[in-house]
Amino acid sequence: MAVLKSFNKRAKTENETGLGTNTNSNGGRFFNKNGNPNIEMRGIPLIERLNLYHTLLSLPKWKFLLVIVTSFILMNLLFAGIYLLIGIEHLNGMVANSDTDKFGEAFFFSAQTFTTVGYGRINPVGFYASFVASLEALVGLLSFALITGLLYGRFARPKAYINYSTNALFAPFRGGVALMVRMVPYTKNFLVNVEAKLTMSMQVIEDGILKNKFFQLSLDISKATTMISNWTLVHVINEESPLFNLSKEDIENGRIEMFLFIQGFDESFSNTVVSRTSYTYEEFVYGAKFLPMYHPNEDNTGTIIHLNKLNDFEPADLPIKF
């Protein structure tokens, strides 16, 4: 840790944040690989911190569909139970004899009412059955309006369609060493005016206490007019770099994590989109370089990008030893 003490004196840190305190105050990485903060909120009631709209917009597709189907089934089970409590004789047109068939008839009558299909074979008779059917129709209309809004929000929600390399590489660069990560867009939602920022967290000893410190890592190229192909971000390790003269052991002891933030303008959505990911010291590869992932097509009139080669790299000799 002696190296970390001297490192702390010469490195210029960013303004300390709420997490830049005793390392006992936090655990694990700050960001997950998918870019979501590795934070669990506690201390206030769930209903106050739960953003249901954001949650439904952010759910994976299969979970979102599961929520819709489950809600539909549960809602119709509820109304079918209410119809049975009112009395099955108040549903005119029923042809079922057994209790199971009667419940099935009530369930599918509820589904028809909920969706406002109304085939007409079964109809409510009496005030209570008619009132419940009217209420269910209203709930169904409101539910489908909400689902339509959520579906539109999910499809129209701006998103940066970017994949990142699994590892960050310490690679040879211009006679020295650089830390590199690679990314590539995987749809035709090409970005313009793209800007990349790389931040590093490291545990250092300050006043006898192990603390988190945050450093801005400069990039060889941090802005691009457009992003239509893969882009390798390069942080040159020189005297100005917080990583200068650090060994592999120092990096592991400092439990270094890098946060990559990408921002650009998506012409398809006509909106600014943001993407992020992180790399911990366990995801660093020392002495390697990325392999090319694009080449000209057969008649040399265009370029072919192989998205499955995003993580491909090969060993490379470094001028220094980590």
pLDDT in tens, the chain (322 residues): 444 444 444 444 444 455 555 555 566 787 777 777 777 777 777 676 677 888 888 888 999 999 999 999 999 999 999 999 998 888 888 777 788 888 988 999 999 999 988 787 888 899 999 999 999 999 999 999 999 999 988 888 888 899 999 999 999 999 999 999 999 999 887 899 999 999 999 988 877 788 888 999 999 999 999 998 999 999 999 999 999 999 999 999 999 999 999 999 988 888 899 999 999 999 999 999 999 999 999 999 999 999 999 999 999 999 888 8
According to the model, what pLDDT value does residue 19 have?
A: 57
Q: Are 160 and 258 in contact (CB under 8 A)?
A: no
According to the model, what pLDDT value does residue 131 have?
A: 94
Domain 2-40+159-315: top CATH class: mainly beta
User: Quick one: CATH architecture of 49-156?
Assistant: Orthogonal Bundle (1.10)
According to the model, what pLDDT value does residue 215 have?
A: 93
E-strand ranges in 186-321 read 191-206, 209-217, 223-227, 231-236, 257-266, 271-280, 284-286, 288-290, 294-296, 303-305, 313-315
Spatial separation of the C-alpha atoms in residues 186 and 179, rounded to whole Å: 23
In the chain, domain spans: 2-40+159-315, 49-156
According to the model, what pLDDT value does residue 82 have?
A: 94
Q: Specify whether the backbone of 286 is left (phi greater than 0), alpha (psi in -120 to 50) or beta.
A: beta
According to the model, what pLDDT value does residue 140 have?
A: 94
List of residues 6+ apart from 116 with CB closer than 8 A: 137, 140, 141
| Residue 26: C-alpha distances to residues 16, 19, 44, 143, 308 (Å) | 15, 7, 19, 41, 35
98 three-class SS = coil
Spatial separation of the C-alpha atoms in residues 236 and 78, rounded to whole Å: 63
pTM: 0.74
